[in-house]
Amino acid sequence: VTHPFTGVNYIEMYKKISECDCEIILSNDPTEILKYTKKVINADIHSRFRTKKLLLANGAEKVISLHEILNKSVDGSGYHEDYGVLGSNLSTDEKVKLFPRDTKTFVNNLQKELYNRLGVKLECMVYGDGAFKDPVGGIWELADPVVSPAYTDGLLGTPNEIKLKYLADNKIANLTGEKAVEAMKKLINEKESNLVNKAESLGTTPRRITDLVGSLCDLTSGSGDKGTPIVLVTGYFDNYATE
């Protein structure tokens, strides 16, 4: 069966790249592979620590995750101390590009240089895959270990937002026009600093700012014909009450 978007039959692809007579085992339970071997490379990304723990707890003798392959240089090769080959991309038929290193130094230096040249403090980040899943093709875009390997300190944290539709229906339902606008702005300006588990924040998606902004940038740029440009995001931290 070929994937509707990529046109690839992945089972046949796995058989071809193995270059040997092999059997493909399909299972939602990672411990199923222990019926065939006690030595495993678990190639999942975001669940890799749980998978490794499960395999070892159920009798695996040796388990290696992808972040443990090329986490140090081998005979002068590239490496990534935290992620190994996770987040790597095909470069040539014989080479891969690993996930970028030293990115924290880069974003901090970039922020300083932009301030020196423009007199404006810009928050900077390095981003890769966005954190979203296609609802039709089922493709989980985030094949990198993280959306952003590094960002400046102003991008730390999660949004603290209230649900405007909830407030409109419950707090200011009797108001219209300019009075409703002013009342809504007042509610936004006077919101609590921590809205976790509050009714007025229900329905807002709790995600880290870097995951949200990185996903926005990835959807804007991609890595195809657009050429992965620099993305300038403006007004992201503005809200309905911003003058």
Each residue's pLDDT tens digit, 38-73: 999 999 999 999 999 999 999 999 999 999 999 999
What pLDDT was estimated at residue 110?
Answer: 98
Tokens of residue 54, six digits: 């499960």
Q: Inform me whether the pLDDT recorded for 34 exceeds 90.
A: yes
Residues 48-68 as b or e (16 or more Cβ within 10 Å = b): beebbebbeeeebeebebbbb
Tokens of 7: 């046109």
pLDDT digits (tens, 9 = 90+) for 212-243: 999 999 988 866 676 767 899 999 888 878 87
Q: What is the dihedral of CA 68, 70, 72, 73, to 10 degrees?
A: 170
Does residue 108 carry a pLDDT above 90? yes
Question: Residue 146's pLDDT is what?
Answer: 96
